[in-house]
Structures are given as structure tokens and as C-alpha cells.
Structure 1
Amino acid sequence: MRACAWLLCSLLPAVFIPAQAAELVHYPRHSSDANPERYATELLNQALKRGGEAFSLQPSPLPMSPARAMYSLQHNDGKIQVLWAMSADQRTKALQAVSIPIYRDLIGWRVLLVRSKDKPRLASINTLSELAHLRFGQRSEWSDVDILRANGLRVQTSNAYPSLFSMLNAGRFDLLPLEILVAAEEQQRFAALGLDLALDDHLLLHYPSTYYYFTSKQNPKLAAAIRRGLEAMLADGSFDRLFNENFAVSLRALNLENRQVIELSNPLLPEVPSEQQKRHDLLWQKRLPSTRQAATAQDSQ
């Protein structure tokens, strides 16, 4: 009996001492459910599990605009602890970038959504100067607005992402550039709502760009954990597998190898890429083999 009592007491600490609680990591809930949202959250979730720290990923209770999310993270106010966004000089100075491209440096490649009746109109366009006669749509808080305008293109903005599709359908502007990672899915999603929109199959816009995870500069532990997790996923191939599971089929459907590439400059890029950024950029040099064979449109003027 005494032996049983002793054994029971020896087991109690193991039974009743709770495991260390995971630290919550909130990211800004977005208003759009486009495919990169799911991919970016799953990639981050897997990276955190591989990062050697006890973190639990959750969305913010309510949607946050990009500007509000950056303000929250920059001031470390506790509402969010991580976001993912385009690498820009201002952002990389204010926040801590985890400089591993989460979309394999494909985020700067865009195809154009147009009204179905206007598809033939783009077939004869091959240069940036010819595009300047058309109007582009963008969400007002996106960095793309400044990039397009810096290249001499006219831009009509909206505060709400879904409104861009109805505005295009109504003729408020002519073209909506979409990331190649989500273009097919988004066209189908809004076509199901009755909008007569189609993807142009001739042009492919490109400007240097990449997306990183960002944390507050006051949270180096989280940034280091994300980096370790992503490095581990790159090493064992799970990064590539997750990417291909999400995007390989839709990328093949865009017939990228037969498109005319038009290059745009990006004035928002960080002034000097870090050595780590350069190292990871080399991983994606074969990101679009077909586009290296496509002619880059240069104005003859």
C-alpha cells in the first residue's frame, strides 16, 4: 500500500505540471481570401513549428489595412506580431525583414485582367509607351500604385480590393494587373459573380519585387524563429513542395513562355540588398525559365 502511495505521488508532478504555453503570434487579417493569403499563412505556420520556439499563429480579430498593420508593427503595440509585404526601402528600415522570398521572387510578375470584349485590343501592344494610353486599377494602399505611376502609367485606385473588379467591369479603368500566382483563381472567382472579365494572354508585366515576412525590430526572437524555420524548409524541400501544391497548376495554365514581357522599374526597392537577401535571391534564378526566352519589350523611341 505504501509502495502504491509513493508511486502515485511520484507521478503527480508529471500529470499536473502544465506544458509551457505557446506565445500567440497575430498576423493582420486581410479582406481578401486570395490564394497567397492561404499559402503565406500555411508557410508561416510550418516555419514557426520548425523554428525552435513555442509560437501559435492566429489572425487578428478584425481585418487591418496595410497601413494600419505596418503602424501597429512599427510601434509594437501588441495587436499583431508579424505581417508579409513587398520589400520596400521604407518598410525595411522601419521593420525587421526576414529576408527569404516567400513567393520565390514571382510576386513581381503580372498578367492583365480586362473586359472580355477588350482582349483583342491588347494583342498589338508590345511596349511600355503603348500601355501608357490605358488606365490601370489598383488598391490605393498597395505599393504597386507608386510603381506603375513611376513608369508613366495612369492609375485609378479603390480602397476596397473587391471593388476593383466591379470598377473594371463598369469601364472605370482598362486593366487590372494580377499576380501570376492568383490571376486564374481571381478571374474565375469574379466571373462566378457575373462579371464579364478575362485574362489577357499576350502580355506579361515584370518589375523587381519580393515579399518577406516582417516583425517588429523589438521582437528579434520571433524573426529568428521564422528564419530558422524557413531555412529548414528550404533545406528539406518542404518549402518547394508547399509552393508547388498551391501554384504549379495555375502557373502552367497561364502559358507564360509565349507572352511578351514588358519590364518596369521599381523605385521602392531597398537601396542596398543585404548579403543574405542576395544569397536567397540566387535560389530563384530559375524561377521562370520560359520568361528568360521571351523578348523583353523595350521602346524603340
Structure 2
Amino acid sequence: MRAALPTEPCRAGIERIHIDMPLPLQQTVWRWLLCLLLCGLLLPVHASDATAIYYPRWSDGDESRSNYMLAQLRLALDKAGSPLRLVPTHTSMEQERALVDLQHDKHLDVVWSMTSHEREERLLPVRIPLDKGLFGWRVALLPRERVDLLKHVRTLDDLRQFTAGQGHDWPDTAILQSQGLPVVVSSNYASLFHMLQARRFDYFPRSVLEIGTELQNPRAQQLVADPHVLLHYPTALYFFFSPRRPELAETVRIGMERAVADGSFEQLFKQQFAHSLAHLQDAERQVIELPNPLLPSATPLQRRELWFSPTQLRQTQVAPK
């Protein structure tokens, strides 16, 4: 095989090199080149816009669930002096898909999620709880006609008589199961509301920061918040970043620390959740404490300014470890 040195111009002004080879071999080479080109076009690649931070889009109708997290992320970037823009992915992503995508640095730059040993091994957390720990304070969603289902629940043993619904990849699922609580899971968040109404399970534990917004959604028209029981386990909702982007994680960490120090983090938190906190504190519910076997030892529980504690809720039932 020999490449001829002379070249001739193409109509587009690009020179074409003639290669002397048998026709069948030329056809094979062109097939391979076409295959490589198509593979290059189809392979997922990380967004190349260096001015943007890509985050996972929620499914239609649930976009407002990300408003607070995005506001805190924007605040952190502003405090760190970063000009980066926040851009959603083109399509929606369920939680585990987003975490895997982030781990492999494909399309995403940031995901917010409850922490666990496994997630902190795979990803870079910024250990400032966006929720101030309130994702671990849970009130059950119930069908309206079963509002008193948990009225006589006083202990963990009482609660074991009922089945909870959860996402299949949520840390909450493992936390509940570790205490012997029956759980039915789904891979789709929205379907859990329909499953509850169809009595595929008895109750759907939701964070006190989520339940108010969720009850306003049309799919929850026949649902109510349980007035009798409050579950609690220590946990934290963090921003997570790819191990390949430590500089981005550090930028957000610096910005969040500055926002905590000057009070703007707390101000934003109260603006978003004042109504939810008042409702939590005013309610008289039986509190059932659950240990969290997934909580990493690096969780900054000693930093009291990062956590919310509803001290009005005195009576508790502690689950055995």
C-alpha cells in the first residue's frame, strides 16, 4: 500500500489525497471510518460550556422542587465570586441515574441528595446540610379517608404493623428497613402517590420540607398529612460533585461557608420554609426516633449552626440500636 504524493483540490477547496489500494479494501476502510464517525457522534459527552453548571432537570410538574436548592447554589456562587451559570439538563433524570451520570462526569456538574456512606465514597460532598437536617423529620402522607390510620402508634413496634412506600434508590428505604419497618418501593417518584391511593402500601413518609408543596400538587388531591406521628433520623441533604471536579466543589464550599457566616444562608432557608417549620412546631405528634446506619462519620453534627432542632417536641420513642 502506498500513498501518492500529488494532490488535487476538491470543489470545497480542501485537498484530497489519492491512496492506491484495491477497491474492496477501500470500501472496508470507508466503512470503518463511517463507523468511527457515528460512534463519536453518539457517545455521551460532558457539556463543553465552561461557563455553566449543569444540574438534573425534574420531570414536568415537579420543577418547583428544585427552587430552594438552586437558590442556595446561586447564593454560594455569588459569595465565592463565581460567574458560572446554572443550566438544567435537556431531559429529566431520576435520582440514581443522575448520581451515576455525575460520578462518570458525563452531562452533570452537580446533584443534591441525601448523604450515605456509599454516596460519599463515589462523589464529592460539600458537607453543609441544605436542609439543616430536616429531611430526616418525616410526616406521613395518607389517603384522606385513612387520616387516623396511625392514631394509636406510640412505638416502633406499633409502626411495624404498617407498610411504607419509598423510592427504590433512596437512602430512606434502607434506614426504614434497618429497623424492621416494611417498605414497598418504586423506581418512579410520581407513581408513589398513585400507589398510595391504590393502597399498595399504607403511608408515604415525606420530609417536613416537602410535604406542604406536595399536597398542593393535583396528584395529591385525595391525600392528607398524618396528624399523629413524626419520624426522625439524623441525615443531611448535600450538594454532590464529580470526583473529577474538585475545584468546583471547593468553590461552592467556600461560598456556602461565607453564606452561613454572614447569615444569608439562614435567611434564605427561613424564607423558603418558615411556614413548614411553624406547622411542625405547632403540631402535637408522637415522635419516633430511628438511628441512621448510613450516616457517615464525617457528618458535621457538632456544628450546631448547621442544624435545625424542633425543641418543642419533647416526648420521643427511641428505637433500639
Q: Same fold (TM over 0.5)?
A: yes
Distance 1:196 1:143 in 2: 27
Matched, 1:216 2:236: no
Q: Which of 73, 77, 83 is the matching residue for 2:111?
A: 83
Q: Which of 278, 287, 293 is the matching residue for 2:309?
A: 287
> Which stretch has the larger CA shift, 261-270 or 34-43?
34-43
- For the Cα contact (< 8 Å) 1:89–1:269, is it kept in 2? yes
Distance 1:148 1:163 in 2: 20
Distance 1:113 1:180 in 2: 11
- For the Cα contact (< 8 Å) 1:201–1:254, is it kept in 2? no
Task: Return the offset for 1:153.
Answer: 1.0
Instruction: Report the 3-state secondary structure (helix = DSSP H, G, I; strand = E; otherwise coil) of the residue aligned with 2:216.
Output: helix
Distance 1:146 1:176 in 2: 15
Q: 1:256 to 1:22 in 2, by over 3 A?
A: farther
Q: Which of 288, 293, 304 is the matching residue for 1:267?
A: 293
Please tell me the root mean square deviation across aligned C-alpha atoms, in Å: 2.1
Matched, 1:33 2:55: no
Distance 2:72 2:195 in 1: 33
Instruction: Report the 3-state secondary structure (helix = DSSP H, G, I; strand = E; otherwise coil) of the residue aligned with 1:265.
Output: coil
Q: Which of 49, 65, 84 is the matching residue for 1:55?
A: 84
Q: Which of 249, 264, 273 is the matching residue for 2:275?
A: 249
Match of 1:170? 198
State the structure with more CA Rg. Answer: 2
Task: Return the offset for 1:229.
Answer: 1.1
- For the Cα contact (< 8 Å) 2:80–2:255, is it kept in 1? yes
- For the Cα contact (< 8 Å) 1:257–1:290, is it kept in 2? no
Which residue type is aligned with residue 239 of structure 2? Answer: Y
Matched, 1:107 2:107: no
- For the Cα contact (< 8 Å) 1:147–1:268, is it kept in 2? yes
Distance 1:287 1:224 in 2: 28
Task: Give the TM-score taking structure 1 as reference length.
Answer: 0.84
Q: 1:286 to 1:168 in 2, by over 3 A?
A: closer
Distance 1:124 1:256 in 2: 20
Q: 1:35 to 1:182 in 2, by over 3 A?
A: farther
Which residue type is aligned with residue 204 of structure 1? Answer: L
**5+ residue gaps, structure 2:** 1-48
Matched, 1:147 2:175: yes
Q: Counterparts of 1:119-158 in structure 2 under 5 Å?
A: 119-158=147-186
Task: Return the offset for 1:38.
Answer: 0.9
Higher RCO, 1 vs 2 (CA within 8 Å, ≥6 residues apart): 1
- For the Cα contact (< 8 Å) 2:288–2:316, is it kept in 1? yes
Count, aligned residues: 271
**5+ residue gaps, structure 1:** 1-20
Q: Which of 64, 67, 75 is the matching residue for 2:96?
A: 67
Displacement over 4 Å in runs of 4+: none
Match of 1:161? 189
Instruction: Report the 3-state secondary structure (helix = DSSP H, G, I; strand = E; otherwise coil) of the residue aligned with 1:122.
Output: coil
Instruction: Report the 3-state secondary structure (helix = DSSP H, G, I; strand = E; otherwise coil) of the residue aligned with 1:123.
Output: coil
> Which stretch has the larger CA shift, 180-189 or 28-37?
28-37
Task: Return the offset for 1:253.
Answer: 2.4
Task: Return the offset for 1:261.
Answer: 0.6
Matched, 1:297 2:313: no
Distance 1:66 1:265 in 2: 23
Task: Return the offset for 1:268.
Answer: 1.3
More helix, by proportion: 1
- For the Cα contact (< 8 Å) 1:34–1:182, is it kept in 2? no
